[in-house]
Amino acid sequence: MSEMAHPTRVGISCGDLNGIGIEVVLKTFEDNRMVQEVTPILYASAKAVSHYRKLLKLEEVQFHRVNDASEALPKKLNVVNVWEEDPTIEPGRPSGKLAAFAIRSLEAATHDLAAGKVDVLVTAPIDKHSMEAAGFAFPGHTEYLAHVAGVDDVLMLLVGEGLCVGTVTGHIPLKDVAQAVTTEKVLAKSRLLHQSLQRDLALASPRIALLGLNPHAGDGGTLGTEDREKVLPAVRQLQTEGILAMGPYSADGFFGNGTFQHFDGTLAMYHDQGLIPFKTIAFGHGVNFTAGLPIVRTSPDHGTGMDIAGQGIADEGSFRAAVWLACDIRMNRDRHRSLMANPLQPQRKERSKEKE
């Protein structure tokens, strides 16, 4: 953090008011060490935060209410009052109309991110069904942020415990996956993964593994020809571009025998193929990161936790990891930008000193 002009200002959307979002935020910043290097700015309302602070017996967690992110104080948890209403919060119940407040929180945080009032965005979990019913026109955070940023293609990455897993297809029915997986799409997602590993995670020559779509990667065509006809040509094309890509690998053996440990990034063909092994290995410490955006956005690797909401037992580990990863990515991007701006400049300076 010392390289940054100021502690990273972390914008936080509150997520579903009936879920565990505000709880994990409060627990994260209950540890005073967290605010020494970051300035957290939660977009919600002082009443909602006070409600959870009292309910969960976290009264020792202090927060500073502000009307605008520009008023945020360092070394404190700041709460931007996005609304003045006092909606009835019922932890664990379907949010229904309360989803409108999650939308307002996200929109306010995104607006301030675009305006430069915060440096990175960490999103607490939302109930996608309730959000849709409340008028949210996107399947999730990723699609919304891509739309706002004007980006055509992004990549969902799960990062943690030495793993970095992306998916070619996202939240679509399994019956539609085979048709959705094309060589062009595999190439596009692989390039995004490679770029993110270099720019966001500071890996100079990342090694990427591509998983097969079918069991045993098609078993030579016996179990389907998609891997031979769609995935393998993508691997070969990536190799001609200088990207260290290998595969397609049989997904079960790839994770079961530890082959994944030899790669910096793994590209799964569909959601569960990548997320089940990731969450088995890293759940509670993993982070969801959206690669390909001009801004930095992370989130915890879990959902709204309706079954445990309001009980004080939600684990904040993943949310804390999301905060730190967002800060690290911001720093890595700044370094990468400096290196790419004039990579020969430091060397020239050294040579000029030698001449003197």
CATH of the domain at 236: 3.40.718.10
pLDDT at 344 over 90: no
Which of 230, 262, 285 is where one domain is finished? 285
Q: Taking Cα atoms as reference points, which of 52, 6, 290, 246 lies closest to residue 154?
A: 290
pLDDT at 52 over 90: yes
Judgement on whether residues 43 and 176 belong to the same structural domain of the protein? no
Q: Quick one: CA dihedral 93, 94, 97, 101, positive or negative? A: positive
pLDDT digits 0-9 by tens, 73-85: 999 999 999 999 9
Which of 259, 285, 311 is where one domain is finished? 285
pLDDT digits 0-9 by tens, 87-97: 999 999 999 98
pLDDT digits 0-9 by tens, 268-298: 999 999 999 999 999 888 999 999 999 999 9
Judgement on whether residues 64 and 38 belong to the same structural domain of the protein? yes
Q: How many CA atoms lie within 13 A of 58 on its CB side?
A: 24
Residue pointed to by tokens 């949210």: 136
The three-point CA angle 96-98-102 to 5° equals 120
Judgement on whether residues 8 and 127 belong to the same structural domain of the protein? yes
Q: What is the pLDDT of residue 343?
A: 56
Q: What is the pLDDT of residue 70?
A: 95
HEC assignment per residue over the chain: CCCCCCCEEEEEECCCCCCCHHHHHHHHCCCHHHHHCEEEEEEECHHHHHHHHHHCCCCCCCEEEECCHHHCCCCCEEEEECCCCCCCCCCCCCCHHHHHHHHHHHHHHHHHHHCCCCCEEEECCCCHHHHHHCCCCCCCHHHHHHHHHCCCCCEEEEEECCEEEEECCCCCCHHHHHHHCCHHHHHHHHHHHHHHHHHCCCCCCCEEEEECCCHHHHHHHCCCCHHHHHHHHHHHHHHHCCCEEEEEECHHHHHHCCHHHHCCEEEECCHHHHHHHHHHHHCCCCEEEEECCCCCEEEECCCCCCCCCCCCCCCCHHHHHHHHHHHHHHHHHHHHHHHHHCCCHHHHHHHHHHHC
Rounded Cα gap, residues 273 and 15, in angstroms = 26
Judgement on whether residues 197 and 253 belong to the same structural domain of the protein? yes
Q: Taking Cα atoms as reference points, which of 137, 73, 143, 148 lies closest to residue 109?
A: 148
Q: What is the pLDDT of residue 340?
A: 77
Judgement on whether residues 1 and 138 belong to the same structural domain of the protein? yes
Mean pLDDT score, 151-180: 94
Rounded Cα gap, residues 171 and 165, in angstroms = 15
Average pLDDT for the chain? 92
Judgement on whether residues 191 and 71 belong to the same structural domain of the protein? no
Judgement on whether residues 187 and 301 belong to the same structural domain of the protein? no
Judgement on whether residues 44 and 105 belong to the same structural domain of the protein? yes
Judgement on whether residues 112 and 169 belong to the same structural domain of the protein? no
Mean pLDDT score, 237-263: 96
Mean pLDDT score, 101-129: 96
Query: What amino acid occupies position 186?
Result: V
Q: What percent of the chain has a predicted confidence (pLDDT) above 70?
A: 94
Q: Taking Cα atoms as reference points, which of 79, 80, 75 lies closest to residue 32?
A: 75
Mean pLDDT score, 192-208: 96
pLDDT at 4 over 90: no
pLDDT at 25 over 70: yes
Residue-number span of the structural domain to which 249 is assigned? 153-285
Q: What percent of the chain has a predicted confidence (pLDDT) above 90?
A: 85
Q: What is the pLDDT of residue 349?
A: 47
pTM exceeding 0.75: yes
Which of 261, 285, 309 is where one domain is finished? 285
Q: How many CB atoms lie within 10 A of CB 149?
A: 18
Judgement on whether residues 101 and 82 belong to the same structural domain of the protein? yes
At 140, is the pLDDT very low, low, confident or very high (cuts 50, 70, 90)?
Answer: confident
Q: What is the pLDDT of residue 87?
A: 93
Judgement on whether residues 146 and 227 belong to the same structural domain of the protein? no
Judgement on whether residues 194 and 274 belong to the same structural domain of the protein? yes
pLDDT digits 0-9 by tens, 171-197: 889 999 999 999 999 999 999 999 999
Q: What is the pLDDT of residue 2?
A: 40
Q: Count of domains in the chain?
A: 2
